[in-house]
A = this chain, B = another copy of it.
Amino acid sequence: MANDYISDALIRRLPSYYRHLRELEAEGIEQISSKELGERMHQTPSQVRQDINCFGGVGRQGYGYHVPELKKRVGEILGLDHEHRMIIIGAGSIGSAVARYPSFSNEGFRTIALFDNRPEAIGRQIGDLTVQSTENLERFLDENLVDIAVLAVPKHAAQEVMDRLLAKQVAAVWNFAPTDLQYDPQRCTVVNVHLSDSLHILSYRMAQP
């Protein structure tokens, strides 16, 4: 399978391919050359051709690539061709923002439950879900198939919740807590969104001449 040869650098570019191809499709553009796609993505045409070769199964006609076919292929590689069932632990401002973000559900990332341990948060309605007590977490995981757990709890609570997720064999965690979680990478996939890190990089770059 072509995916086997996808480098880390290309993995980081894949979502950008998907985003640009989705925009092209929305603009009604059916065909695109490696030169035009490269210009949009700030990549050289040869980099684009090399990347797309790695995807496998995408032909190049005389006039370029077929946008819907290429988008479909990148979506398959990214696993966007099937639904992901998400739960969110921590219904504070970040957890609520993730629950409300419309493009996630449009892409098949469906939030099926929200948990919080603060009495004032439990019972609150966010979209069409009611925030549950984190006490229900284990029972929910026993009774429901969950693909991704979104961790949006404060730093001091993150590892404890992570351990509870790992004990229930949750295999993927999207972590917003500003800490590096301890886990066995053979048993769980974790991607971090460290907002402070991103802001610190902006601050660093601002300070450069």
| Shortest Cβ distance from residue A144 to the other chain B in the assembled complex, whole angstroms | 17
By the criterion CB–CB under 8 Å, are A202 and B172 in contact? yes
Chain B residue numbers with a CB within 8 Å of A205 are: 172, 189, 191
Is A206's CB within 8 Å of the partner chain B?
Answer: yes
- B-contacting residues of A (Cβ < 8 Å)? 3, 11-12, 14-16, 18-20, 23, 40-42, 77-80, 84, 93-94, 96-98, 100-101, 103-104, 107, 109, 147-148, 171-172, 174, 178-180, 189, 191, 193-208
By the criterion CB–CB under 8 Å, are A15 and B196 in contact? yes
Count this chain's copies in the assembly: 2
A15: which of B77, B96, B200 is its contact (CB, 8 Å)? B200
By the criterion CB–CB under 8 Å, are A202 and B189 in contact? yes
| Shortest Cβ distance from residue A92 to the other chain B in the assembled complex, whole angstroms | 8
By the criterion CB–CB under 8 Å, are A199 and B104 in contact? yes
By the criterion CB–CB under 8 Å, are A104 and B196 in contact? yes
A196: which of B40, B103, B189, B197 is its contact (CB, 8 Å)? B103
| Shortest Cβ distance from residue A178 to the other chain B in the assembled complex, whole angstroms | 7
